[in-house]
């Protein structure tokens, strides 16, 4: 299996965690409502806090990743997932739970925004479309496995909603390790910052040394000198509104 495929699979764990979170809160909210005596407003707020966090963070994740790089933002996403999961495991009241859900939402927003960009910038052109199906596939897979876990825990005598939500920290720790020790920076981003040597080294890792023998290969095959790193913005969908509508 090529390096680019393994890198894409590792990066898409962020989307797996997003699907996992969506499923766990859907099952856990039944027990949260009973345990914390929540009204309908607070019940809806607990569920929505992750979406609120994701919405807020996506407004600035693009420009920040253009400045600092894709990889640091993926590392931050894994940290937010992990911290959010730990706080949800401990949550003594609804206020703390909402804060945890907000942090979790920040991690979700970074992952769903930047993972597809990262995969596009690291994947070879001949399998780029295939690899870009992985974020959605992983998200759906995360939901399925989380629903199975919730079902199993619901069969116990005293299901713990804190444990249901806190389990998120375990796969997020794996995600953190992969983003720190395995995932390279986007070669397109490196070239946009003039770091040609680092970009060449990353491409050699992703494609194989025989595919990238020097800067001329980068120029001819990937046109990195002439193509700047794509800018991510909230208004980007408006540029492609007709395609989006279709």
Query: Residue 212 pLDDT more than 60?
Result: no
Q: Is 241 inside a domain boundary?
A: no
CA distance 67 to 61: 10
Query: Residue 6 pLDDT more than 60?
Result: yes
SS3 content of the chain, % helix, strand, coil (to 5): 80, 0, 20
Query: Residue 227 pLDDT more than 60?
Result: no
Query: Residue 41 pLDDT more than 80?
Result: yes
How many domains does the chain divide into?
1
Q: What burial class does residue 220 get, using C-beta atoms within 10 Å of its C-beta: 0-12 exposed, 13-18 middle, 19+ buried?
A: exposed
Band the pLDDT of 208: cuts 50, 70, 90: confident
Query: Residue 30 pLDDT more than 80?
Result: yes
Within 10 Å of residue 56's Cβ, how many Cβ atoms?
14
Q: Is 124 inside a domain boundary?
A: yes
The residue count of the chain comes to 246
Q: Is 190 inside a domain boundary?
A: no
Query: Residue 216 pLDDT more than 60?
Result: no
Residue 75's domain comprises 3-184
Contacts of 16 (CB under 8 A, 6+ apart): 138, 139, 141, 142, 171
Q: What burial class does residue 39 get, using C-beta atoms within 10 Å of its C-beta: 0-12 exposed, 13-18 middle, 19+ buried?
A: exposed
Which H helix or E strand runs over 119?
A: helix 94-122
- Give the lowest-confidence range in 22-26, 71-75, 110-114, 205-209: 205-209
CA distance 233 to 211: 32
- The residue among 234, 233, 212 whose CA lies nearest residue 224 is 212
Segment 186-200 mean pLDDT: 93
Q: Is 198 inside a domain boundary?
A: no
Within 10 Å of residue 155's Cβ, how many Cβ atoms?
7
Segment 106-135 mean pLDDT: 95
Segment 1-18 mean pLDDT: 92
Q: Is 227 inside a domain boundary?
A: no
The HSE-up count of residue 45 (CA atoms within 13 Å, CB side) is 12
Q: Is 207 inside a domain boundary?
A: no
Please say whether the dihedral angle defined by the alpha carbons of residues 74, 142, 154 and 54, taken in this order, is positive or negative.
positive
Domain with residue 8: its CATH number is: 1.20.1250.20
Answer whether 113's CB lies under 8 Å from 90's CB. no
pLDDT of residue 209: 62
Q: Is 87 inside a domain boundary?
A: yes
- The residue among 60, 64, 54 whose CA lies nearest residue 234 is 60
Specify which of 32-36, 196-200, 216-220 reaches the highest per-range mean pLDDT: 32-36
pLDDT of residue 221: 44
Segment 17-29 mean pLDDT: 97
Q: What percent of the chain lies above the pLDDT cut of 70?
A: 84
- The residue among 144, 140, 178, 146 whose CA lies nearest residue 15 is 140
């Amino acid at each position: 299996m090529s390096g680019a495929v393994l890198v894409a699979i590792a990066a898409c764990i962020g989307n797996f965690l997003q699907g996992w979170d969506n499923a766990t809160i859907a099952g856990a909210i039944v027990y949260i409502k009973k345990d914390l005596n929540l009204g309908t407003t607070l019940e809806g707020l607990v569920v929505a806090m992750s979406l609120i966090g994701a919405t807020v963070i996506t407004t600035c994740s693009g420009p920040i990743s253009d400045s600092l790089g894709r990889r640091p933002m993926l590392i931050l996403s894994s940290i937010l997932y992990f911290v959010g999961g730990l706080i949800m495991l401990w949550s003594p009241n609804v206020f703390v739970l909402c804060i945890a859900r907000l942090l979790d939402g920040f991690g979700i927003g970074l992952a769903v925004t930047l993972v597809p960009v990262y995969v596009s910038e690291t994947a070879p052109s001949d399998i780029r479309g295939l690899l870009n199906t992985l974020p959605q596939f992983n998200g759906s897979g995360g939901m399925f496995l989380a629903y199975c876990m919730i079902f199993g825990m619901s069969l116990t005598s005293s299901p713990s909603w804190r444990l249901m939500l806190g389990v998120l920290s375990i796969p997020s720790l794996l995600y953190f390790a992969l983003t720190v020790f395995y995932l390279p920076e986007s070669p397109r981003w490196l070239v946009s910052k003039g770091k040609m040597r680092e970009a060449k080294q990353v491409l050699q890792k992703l494609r194989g040394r025989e595919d990238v023998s020097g800067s001329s290969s980068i120029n001819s095959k990937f046109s990195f000198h002439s193509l700047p790193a794509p800018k991510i913005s909230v208004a980007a969908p408006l540029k492609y509104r007709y395609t989006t509508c279709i």
